[in-house]
Structure 1
């Protein structure tokens, strides 16, 4: 094992952070954009088309963030339920704006075919600071469990509890960025008092399937749709993407529930986590949003087409 990295400016190499180090880290975080301006204004525009529900609030003094989900106005219990989440990692911009774009441009086509429940910005504090963690230096996307230490994860866990055994589909919208390698992985290693091991950021879109209940045809349908919008990430020289074996072009697998990942909250048959690469010279912000929306639409179309199959 290599020696713990000395590059990260907070903490003592080889020693996990305590409250003092977390406080120093939190004090370094700067607000770069507005949840109210970027997200809540769009939600307000959608109130005439969806039922908007405040499903919790995050009190991070002196700030308070109300959490919102939008659901089909004419909910029908006999229709399948589709769950879409974005902004679990607040810095992953197209996850938030792709979810909102889907609501604005695409959701109407499913009005008589599915019940939609969309939480477009799960982590607003992190959205404003373009960060992965919440103010307690906790990654919400490793915290989706009943006793979650992350308020963002706990609120969404309770929101989705009624659909745990009835949802047909849950798609969670993410990005993999260059800052994963330059900031977030070194910060994680420093926080946990371990060595920071260099990795490789994939250039392109990819998906994370559930290794415990894989759905390869479903993932392929999403990849095929997104390939019309932006490029799919190739495997690296080891046949991997971010350290996991590629099981099909642009697809890797994680045990979603075991890792406490958002897409594993429910027992939905169809689950996927999208990963867009916004730092590619081959992709624009608009393409990234389009890719997320295309992934959601393809996922819904496939799931609805296969609801009667065993």
Structure 2
């Protein structure tokens, strides 16, 4: 086990952060890219083909409006699909993959499904390239009642207000080298525990739900994505990020217990994607296309197996 003090500059080894340390961390965060230019401008271009709703606003150093993009002809007789991106704002292809799916593919499925996409759930995290929100809270561990993360609670409240049951929920994520160089050391320091270095899987993988594993659904997504990019192999112990694989490129978590985004929606078919943009074998464009392939692979499976 490794001492957090050797790996992170804020706090005292073995002691959880208080408000002082969290404010110190927040003061170090800087805007590095534009949510308006890179995300909102692309959402606005979708208005001719989708209904766009503003489901909330985050008031941090700037005010961030939050958007939901919906099928324009919502039909209660069709199954409903939820796609979420940017729960971790720094995971670029999650946001851009959701937007690309809307631009290039979503309308092709409009006769079969009602589609709802929340492309950028954590816009402050997108702009500052961060996993956490400004309060040093991870939104993707905060999808539960009375959530301390407003990013998560606004999504929960909005989806609840629709009174809609979802057949499938695909949540788009990345695993990056900064997980090991920044975010996991910061997490250990925040929580006052030792940090043990781990590897980053080289390739695409999925996180399913232990309560609703749906292995054929997961396999269909893997098979769709492998046409675009490589699938992450397990380590020498048959694991990916410390979990035994269930099949090629798939691990399962108790998503509701952990407060993960796919856990709150209670969709029968749910998965979290993980792209590796720092791989020497993948480009940024391939990572975006892998996210799109994950969503289309999921939808094609649902059509092929006549899921309703």
Instruction: State the match for 1:302 in structure 2.
Output: 301
The alignment covers a number of residue pairs equal to 308
Instruction: State the match for 2:280 in structure 1.
Output: 281
8 Å CA contact 1:5–1:196 kept in 2: the answer is no
Q: Kindly provide the CA deviation profile for residues 80-137 of structure 1, in whole angstroms up to 9, marking residues without a partner as x.
A: 0000000000010000000000000001111111000000000000000111000000
Instruction: State the match for 1:15 in structure 2.
Output: 15
Instruction: State the match for 2:207 in structure 1.
Output: 208
Instruction: State the match for 1:34 in structure 2.
Output: 34
Give the alignment's Cα RMSD to 1 decimal.
1.3
What is the CA distance between 1:2 and its match in structure 2?
Answer: 5.6
What is the CA distance between 1:301 and its match in structure 2?
Answer: 1.4
What is the CA distance between 1:5 and its match in structure 2?
Answer: 3.8
Instruction: State the match for 1:96 in structure 2.
Output: 95
The answer to whether 1:243 aligns with 2:237 is: no
What is the CA distance between 1:145 and its match in structure 2?
Answer: 0.7
Distance 1:251 1:202 in 2: 12
Distance 2:3 2:29 in 1: 27
8 Å CA contact 2:4–2:185 kept in 1: the answer is no
- Structure 2 unaligned segments of length 5 or more: list them: none
- Structure 1 unaligned segments of length 5 or more: list them: none
Distance 2:240 2:194 in 1: 20
**Deviation beyond 4 Å, 4+ runs, structure 1:** 1-4, 162-165
Distance 2:293 2:88 in 1: 20
8 Å CA contact 1:164–1:267 kept in 2: the answer is no
8 Å CA contact 1:164–1:266 kept in 2: the answer is no
What is the CA distance between 1:166 and its match in structure 2?
Answer: 1.6
Distance 2:127 2:13 in 1: 29
Distance 1:211 1:88 in 2: 21
Matches within 5 A, 1:137-286: 137-162=136-161, 166-286=165-285
8 Å CA contact 1:5–1:13 kept in 2: the answer is yes
What is the CA distance between 1:289 and its match in structure 2?
Answer: 0.3
Q: Kindly provide the CA deviation profile for residues 142-201 of structure 1, in whole angstroms up to 9, marking residues without a partner as x.
A: 000111000100011112225676210000000000000000000000000000111110
Q: Kindly provide the CA deviation profile for residues 19-53 of structure 1, in whole angstroms up to 9, marking residues without a partner as x.
A: 11000000000110000000000011001111000
Instruction: State the match for 2:25 in structure 1.
Output: 25
8 Å CA contact 1:86–1:121 kept in 2: the answer is yes
